Structure 1
Amino acid sequence: MRALQRIASELAYLRGSLRILRRTSPIARNPTYTIGDLMRDAAKRHGDRVALISDRETLTFRDYDGRANRYARWARAQGIGKGDVVALLMPNRPDYLCIWLGVARIGGVTALINTNLTGQGLAHCVAIVQARIVIVAEELLPAWRGAAPFVPGAPELWLHGGGGDGRRVDEAIASFSDADLSPEEKAKLTVEDRCVFIYTSGTTGLPKAANINHYRIMAMTLGFSALMDTGPGDRMYDCLPMYHSNGGVLATCGTLCQGGSVVIRERFSARDFWADIVRHDCTLFFYIGELCRYLVNTPPGPDDRRHRIRLVCGNGLRPDIWNEFSSRFGIRHIREFYAATEGNVALFNLDSRPGAVGRIPKWAERRFVVKVVKFDVEKEEPVRGPDGFCVECQAGEVGEIVGQILNDPRKPTNRFEGYADRAATQRKILRDAFEKGDAWFRSGDLMRRDADGYFYFVDRIGDTFRWKGENVATSEVAETISVFPGVAHCTVYGVRLDGYEGRAGMAAIVMDDATPLDPDALRAHLKRQLPDYARPLFLRIRSSLDMTGTFKQRKVELVKEGCDPSLLADPIYVDHPAQGRYVPLDRDLYRALQAGTVRL
């Protein structure tokens, strides 16, 4: 059986790799052909076919292309030229795609701003890219007004929609033609020119603005169209935020470029998800982070298997729910992948191997130069051997995954374009790793690779901590807790305690409404599944967890808050060493732990 699985896997990776290479290889050979040209040609081929569907409106390919041209002419009339930045603060809707495509056609750059940001965080994202214009949706105008005083240079404000005082961009474009741009109106662009800024999630600090040039946009668009094998008969359901690459580029452009349609939902709803899929007759959807866990945690419904989904694509489908998600909803083909918007490490799971984020077969290793290097968790840096170079992990060992940075036209996937902040760019580059003068992109993620070449995500660097001289991978502990009955969500992190080296494990847990926590049963479950050092010493029971707009858990504040019960309103439990069970943590017991009279 293993031999047959291996043959099937090799065939899947060969077919998938050839399809990806066939669609992406022309990019480097046609350096003046950009995303604006690609979408124009798609519109010519599929004119009256439906392109974008939402509760607000439906646009054909001709409508989409023409509206993008109107926005291009509007931006040009405002003095936006090659390299000038327009910041876009808008929820999901068809105009989102029209705006950044139009701005790109005249050489401008659109900064795709997280719609959850407020205050100085929002101001930072606009300021760091030096935006000349800010387009704000009417419902987000209060957030912008709170941030605007902190933005130097006072960028010009345009509103999208009514309800505020100011010029409306959606009305202004009506006076511009939707015809193809003339050669004089279009900027002279190559794939090297910047197209958009897409921001990192900001889970560990302020977001960083990643430089996304036309080459990367084209590679993302065509590569994922090949990964999903999209065509005119497909309908993509997209409920992910469009300020993120998954929801704003991969799901949308990867479908549109081959003539498929995209159903745009303003935000994810677990309750309405499958009903929407069935109502719109979708064949694909994109997932990220915990979306699939939310779906698995919903009560069974009549639409669970009434859909026509042939494939799903995304990242973050954790091993503990992979098989349940696949079997319950009847989804056989899951295209899990690993990539950073700005990075040069890309892995694809082309044969739906449960839990794996991708695989690089032996025959592809020379083209996709990726290594897993030994990593010192406490120093948060790669381990170097006696010769001063990094040490590559053996099969099964955990280390940081890195990708070689090359500016070789024959290997365009090895490039790293960096961020708007030059210092942030330099921090992501590992130099002199395996030989003097080389450079590697630091992913910031810990992985292990098995003997068959499959990669498995372990943890984010900074999340993994040491306790009792051992490394604790928070994601693996969280997965173990998540399968315990009644647990809706959880996150795991390390907290400091006086008199102890390293950090003690703590789990913040949200139970479902019908199931109270049974600490004794949970402890027995953890004792069966995890070694002593990995079991969380503290439990914090919460009503909810703070998430980013892309379903990533925010741990920074939880780590800062620690486990002092006098500072926290949530119930706290500690694994009492003498009693051998989780007991409520009160102030006296906490003082005893800090003083060392009770030792963990």
Structure 2
Amino acid sequence: MPLKARLQRDWRFARGLNRTLKRVKSIASDSPNLICDDLQAAVDQWRDRSAITFEGRTLSYGELDAMANRFAHWGKGQNLRRGQTVALFMPNRLEYFAIWYGLSKIGVVTALINNQLSGLALAHCLNISAAACVIVDAETSPVFEAAKTLLEKPLNQWILGPAHGGQRDLVQALKSCSQLPPDKIVREDIRAHDTALLIFTSGTTGLPKAARITHVRAQLYMRGFAGATGAKSTDRIYVTLPLYHATGGLCALGAALLNGGSVFLRRKFSATHFWGEVVDEGCTMFVYIGELCRYLVNQPPGEAETRHKIRMAFGNGLRPDIWPVMKQRFRIPEILEFYGSTEGNVSMFNFDGREGAIGRAPKWLRKRFNVRLVQFDVETEEPIRGTNGLCIECGPGQIGECIGEIGGDARSEYSGYVDRAASEKKVLHDVFEKGDRWFATGDLMKSDGDGYFYFVDRIGDTFRWKGENVSTNEVAERLLGVAGVKEANVYGVAVEGAEGRAGMAGLVVGPEFDIKLFGETVARDLPPYAQPLFVRVLPALETTGTFKTRKMDLIADGYDPGKIKGPLYFNDAKRGYVKVTKGVFEKIAAGLVKL
């Protein structure tokens, strides 16, 4: 890269980092300044400006605060005390943010429950939250009712809407609650290291875990993105992500509301309505996660997709193959990709727009970042240690686990999960010196000589086949380049008598998909050990509410035609991909077929 271009790139990065650090430098764990105080300051500054629009109704900052105050006084009226928890089980709606903002004013924790959960998973989240009561609406109330018998203790159910049976009418209760702020004395002994929210992991590999979001961490999210995005009071952010997740509920709202901007909130994502609403609402930014951008790219072209005022899209999980398409087809001037985990202490930003990179920690700022990559054994699922018992740092291009040093300052603290044992499992000891502690992200990455980090795979998703490590993420990216493949989920399956796990791909395909052409492309573009041994065609990929693909049920199905509906293929060494019949399955299971 020419010197001038390199200097321009480094200047963009330094400017973005400086914006961010300016907003977060005063955050301190022992401070009495809480996330609700940050939000109150924004209300006081921009009281009459529009804050949130949802389904035709707009609240100003002052009206939003008044609503939050009603919820605070309702909580006081229910004798909810500091440290107690209220479960919030609702889809995106106007009151969502106001509920947890208001409850934080009286020191009450809000557990943000994924509104797509039901049955055992829902009951599990409610149980581990230790909630004193649950707030629902007409959409989620029947789901809660169906899971009640699985709860460890009865929960009072408050509904935003007409009450039935044993439900309590929250709308009616709020009418008698004051719109004035509660006295600060009710939270005078609370500090920023105390818990503000519970946010749950996505549950792609098991039941969700409850991550403790302290006031410090909520401030880092909200203030951090207020700085990182460079958002202004004139910006309007399109939020279609669920508010129970940190990216939509904290990062995006913080970018808007701590800068005097506004939010257009949607109940849930719709690829069909996306660009039309962005144009109609005059949005200047939007937030993405996971595969949301691929859904946009898979839509037929429309005139609204280039008639917008979007100046930035920010989020995480943008696939490298989609990145240039997003910029060119939709004419998006800037994409801000970032990396972070709900429960962890590692965060990175790609301020200067290197395509495919999830963040950057340049050499000249290495000491300012707590992030490192260490060599990792995918079979034992443990970091590799040298003869001295310490971990070995990766060099450029080497794949390793991303870890974050746990320190005493706000940015490197690790608050973990409600379950202390689960929290401790994520901590590595004696990493680079005796006595140090590092948070293990569970993500495999690689970095280059310029300090850019690239996501490779989740630990547990990467598998070994024929003596080689196979990244499900990298294979999926290659498969998405094959004609007719719209979506791909790659995973490893056990094969009787074979070492490791064989690659299998679940595909969503279009009418132009041809299995023979697919096989030819795979044989050309992937090494033998990375070529999927099995392929199944699915009507759709099962995803979480944050667009992460689920693998558990697919892995459980394996390659058994008795469990699988729809086309299923085996990559025969001589004939290419052939249909898996009962006879073929039995031969493979008996070890009679060369793999």
Q: SS in structure 1 opposite 2:242? A: coil
Q: Output one character per residue of 1:524-545: Cα deviation in whole Å (capped at 9) or x when no partner.
A: 2222221111111111011111
Q: How far apart are the structure 2 equivalents of 1:163 and 1:584?
A: 54
Corresponding residue for 2:295? 294
Corresponding residue for 2:89? 89
Counting only pairs closer than 5 Å after superposition, residues 512-523 of structure 1 correspond to structure 2 as 512=510, 515-523=511-519
Counting only pairs closer than 5 Å after superposition, residues 66-465 of structure 1 correspond to structure 2 as 66-162=66-162, 164-165=164-165, 166-407=167-408, 411-465=409-463
Q: Return closer, same or farther for 1:526/1:5 CA change in 2, 3 Å cut-off.
A: farther
| Superposition deviation, residue 74 in structure 1 | 0.5
Q: How far apart are the structure 2 equivalents of 1:29 and 1:393?
A: 32
Q: How far apart are the structure 2 equivalents of 1:592 and 1:152?
A: 47
Counting only pairs closer than 5 Å after superposition, residues 26-105 of structure 1 correspond to structure 2 as 26-28=26-28, 31-55=31-55, 57-105=57-105
| Superposition deviation, residue 193 in structure 1 | 1.4
Q: How far apart are the structure 1 equivalents of 2:208 and 2:450?
A: 36
RMSD: 1.3
| Superposition deviation, residue 186 in structure 1 | 4.5
Q: SS in structure 2 opposite 1:98? A: helix
Q: How many residues align?
A: 594
Letter in structure 2 aligned against 1:93? R
Greater mean deviation of Cα atoms: 438-447 or 485-494: 485-494
Asked whether 1:490 is paired with 2:468, we answer no
Asked whether 1:535 is paired with 2:531, we answer yes
Q: Return closer, same or farther for 1:100/1:507 CA change in 2, 3 Å cut-off.
A: same
Q: How far apart are the structure 1 equivalents of 2:31 and 2:259?
A: 20
Asked whether 1:562 is paired with 2:563, we answer no
Corresponding residue for 1:549? 545
| Superposition deviation, residue 516 in structure 1 | 4.2
Q: Output one character per residue of 1:255-276: Cα deviation in whole Å (capped at 9) or x when no partner.
A: 1011000000000000000001
Greater mean deviation of Cα atoms: 126-135 or 265-274: 126-135
Q: Output one character per residue of 1:156-177: Cα deviation in whole Å (capped at 9) or x when no partner.
A: 2111122634222122112111
Letter in structure 2 aligned against 1:268? F
Corresponding residue for 2:520? 524
Letter in structure 2 aligned against 1:412? A
Are the counterparts in 2 of residues 220 and 254 from structure 1 also a CA contact under 8 Å?
no
Q: How far apart are the structure 2 equivalents of 1:249 and 1:492?
A: 31
| Superposition deviation, residue 332 in structure 1 | 2.2
Letter in structure 2 aligned against 1:393? C
Letter in structure 1 aligned against 2:70? R
Q: SS in structure 2 opposite 1:254? A: helix
| Superposition deviation, residue 228 in structure 1 | 0.6
Are the counterparts in 1 of residues 29 and 216 from structure 2 also a CA contact under 8 Å?
no
Q: How far apart are the structure 1 equivalents of 2:592 and 2:48?
A: 76
Are the counterparts in 1 of residues 86 and 110 from structure 2 also a CA contact under 8 Å?
yes
Q: Return closer, same or farther for 1:2/1:506 CA change in 2, 3 Å cut-off.
A: farther
Q: Output one character per residue of 1:310-357: Cα deviation in whole Å (capped at 9) or x when no partner.
A: 001000100011111110000121000010011111110001110000
| Superposition deviation, residue 386 in structure 1 | 1.3
| Superposition deviation, residue 518 in structure 1 | 0.7
Q: SS in structure 2 opposite 1:304? A: helix
| Superposition deviation, residue 30 in structure 1 | 8.2
Q: How far apart are the structure 2 equivalents of 1:533 and 1:66?
A: 60
Q: Return closer, same or farther for 1:412/1:474 CA change in 2, 3 Å cut-off.
A: same
Q: How far apart are the structure 1 equivalents of 2:202 and 2:65?
A: 30
Asked whether 1:508 is paired with 2:506, we answer yes
| Superposition deviation, residue 298 in structure 1 | 0.2
Q: How far apart are the structure 2 equivalents of 1:103 and 1:29?
A: 20
Q: How far apart are the structure 2 equivalents of 1:567 and 1:233?
A: 54
| Superposition deviation, residue 596 in structure 1 | 2.3
Q: How far apart are the structure 2 equivalents of 1:177 and 1:392?
A: 56
Q: How far apart are the structure 1 equivalents of 2:275 and 2:188?
A: 43
Are the counterparts in 2 of residues 123 and 147 from structure 1 also a CA contact under 8 Å?
yes
Letter in structure 1 aligned against 2:582? R
Q: SS in structure 2 opposite 1:43? A: helix
Corresponding residue for 2:592? 597
Q: How far apart are the structure 2 equivalents of 1:255 and 1:365?
A: 30
Q: SS in structure 2 opposite 1:201? A: coil
Q: How far apart are the structure 1 equivalents of 2:521 and 2:547?
A: 26
Find 1:584's aligned residue among 573, 579, 594.
579
Q: How far apart are the structure 2 equivalents of 1:2 and 1:480?
A: 30
Q: How far apart are the structure 2 equivalents of 1:234 and 1:533?
A: 48
Greater mean deviation of Cα atoms: 464-473 or 28-37: 28-37
Q: Return closer, same or farther for 1:183/1:474 CA change in 2, 3 Å cut-off.
A: closer
Are the counterparts in 2 of residues 314 and 336 from structure 1 also a CA contact under 8 Å?
yes
| Superposition deviation, residue 147 in structure 1 | 1.4
Are the counterparts in 2 of residues 82 and 187 from structure 1 also a CA contact under 8 Å?
no
Q: SS in structure 2 opposite 1:374? A: strand
Are the counterparts in 1 of residues 198 and 210 from structure 2 also a CA contact under 8 Å?
yes
Q: SS in structure 2 opposite 1:365? A: helix
Q: SS in structure 2 opposite 1:16? A: helix
Q: How far apart are the structure 2 equivalents of 1:137 and 1:434?
A: 50
Are the counterparts in 1 of residues 32 and 188 from structure 2 also a CA contact under 8 Å?
no
Q: Output one character per residue of 1:269-314: Cα deviation in whole Å (capped at 9) or x when no partner.
A: 0000000100100001000000000000000001011000000100
Q: How far apart are the structure 1 equivalents of 2:516 and 2:3?
A: 44
Q: Return closer, same or farther for 1:211/1:560 CA change in 2, 3 Å cut-off.
A: same
Q: How far apart are the structure 1 equivalents of 2:441 and 2:185?
A: 41
Q: Percent identity?
A: 46
Q: SS in structure 2 opposite 1:266? A: coil
Q: Output one character per residue of 1:3-46: Cα deviation in whole Å (capped at 9) or x when no partner.
A: 23321221011111111111111222981111111111111111
Q: SS in structure 1 opposite 2:446? A: strand
| Superposition deviation, residue 363 in structure 1 | 2.7
Are the counterparts in 2 of residues 107 and 187 from structure 1 also a CA contact under 8 Å?
no
Letter in structure 2 aligned against 1:386? T
Are the counterparts in 2 of residues 115 and 140 from structure 1 also a CA contact under 8 Å?
yes
Q: How far apart are the structure 2 equivalents of 1:388 and 1:29?
A: 33
Q: SS in structure 2 opposite 1:175? A: coil
Q: How far apart are the structure 2 equivalents of 1:485 and 1:96?
A: 42
Q: How far apart are the structure 2 equivalents of 1:8 and 1:34?
A: 37
Are the counterparts in 2 of residues 87 and 135 from structure 1 also a CA contact under 8 Å?
yes
Q: Return closer, same or farther for 1:277/1:226 CA change in 2, 3 Å cut-off.
A: same
Q: How far apart are the structure 1 equivalents of 2:106 and 2:312?
A: 35
Q: Output one character per residue of 1:120-141: Cα deviation in whole Å (capped at 9) or x when no partner.
A: 1111111112100111112111
Q: Return closer, same or farther for 1:327/1:163 CA change in 2, 3 Å cut-off.
A: farther
